[in-house]
Structure 1
Amino acid sequence: MKIFDFDKAYSQCITPKIENLLKKIHIYRNDFKLSDIHKILSTQAFSESIESSNRIEGLTTRDQRLHQLVNYEIEPESLSEKEIAGYRDVLALVNENFEYMPLKTSIILQLHRDLYKYEDISIGGKYKNGDNQIIETDENGIKKLRFSPLPAWETPRAMEILCENYNIALNHQEYEPLVLIPIFIKKISE
C-alpha cells in the first residue's frame, strides 16, 4: 500500500526564506480581506483561473463566449465549453464554501462529479475502473512509459489514506496549510 509521509515532505519544503514569506502572507492577509481591492482581484483571479486552467488542458472557445460562460450568461454548447462550465462551477463552489469543505474522499468525488455535470458521459464522481499508463512518444515515434499511476483497485483506499494523513498533518499547529496543500497535490499525482 502507498505511504504518504507528510512529515518528511513538509520538512523538505520549509526553509528560513519560506518561513519568512509565510509570516508576511499572514500579516497582509487580513488587511487585504478588508480592502476594496479584494473583491476586484478575486473576481479577476476567478476569471483568469478558469481561462488559464482550461487552456492548459487544451480547452478553448472564443474570447467572447468564454467571458459569457465565466459570467453565467450563456449555456455551454461544445465539449470544451461544457468542461469549462464544469470547472467554473466547481471553482465557484470551492471559493464560496471552502471553510465548510473538509478534505475527504466524498468531497473530492462530489467535485469531480460536478466537473462533468454538463457532459453526456458518466465518469464524474467515480474512481477510475481500469489501469492506465502515461506513455511518451519521442520525435522518432518511439514510445516509452513515462509514468504508471496507482492501479485502479488501489485508488479508493489510497485516496482515503492520503486524505487522512493530510488532515492529521493539518491538525499539527506547527504545520502551515499553505505548504501542506501543494504537498497534497504532489502526493495525489505520485
Structure 2
Amino acid sequence: MQAVLTELESLLAGLVERDLPGVLVVACSDVETLYLAQVLARLDERSESDLFLTFTDAAATTAALVDALADNLALQQANLAEQLGPGAALPDLPALARDPAASPATRFHALVDHVLALLPPGDHRLVIALLPPASHPTSASSSPSRCCAPHSTRACAWSCATIELAPRTSPRQ
C-alpha cells in the first residue's frame, strides 16, 4: 500500500508542479478517498506558495455540488476574515457563482477565478480537490468532472475524486 501512496504522491506532485492547468480524475472508494486526502495534505504542507482546497461535499446534482462549494468557500472566507481581525474584508463571491441560470461549469469557473484573484502576486497555484463520498447515492450527472472539464470526453462515475489545478496565468501587479 505504501508503494501505491508514494506513486500517487509523485503523480499529484507532478500535476501541481507543471505550468499548465489540468484535471485529474481518480476513481476510488470512500476509504481510498481518505488516503488521497492525506496525500494532498502532505503536498499542501510541503508547498508554501500553493493553495490547496479540498471539498468532501456530497450532492445529488452538479448544480447542487457547485452550490455546496460556493457555500463552503463563503464560510471559509468569513472565517478567515474573522481571524484576520477588524478591517480585514474579503470580496464577496461573484454573483455568477450563485446564478441558477448559469451552467454549473460556468459557476464553478467563476469560483475558481475568484479564489485565484485572492492569491498574492507571484508563482502560486490553486489546487482544488473535489472528493465526494463514493457511497453517496448521486447520479452520474453530478460528476465533479462535469464542473471542471465540461468538454472532457472522459466520463467519470459518481464514485470519483476530481482534482483541478488552476495556475495563475499572469502575475498580479
Same fold (TM over 0.5): no
Report the TM-score, using the length of structure 1 for normalisation. Answer: 0.29
The structure carrying a bigger strand percent of its residues is 2
Report the TM-score, using the length of structure 2 for normalisation. Answer: 0.31
The structure carrying a bigger helix percent of its residues is 1
Structure with max Cα Rg: 1
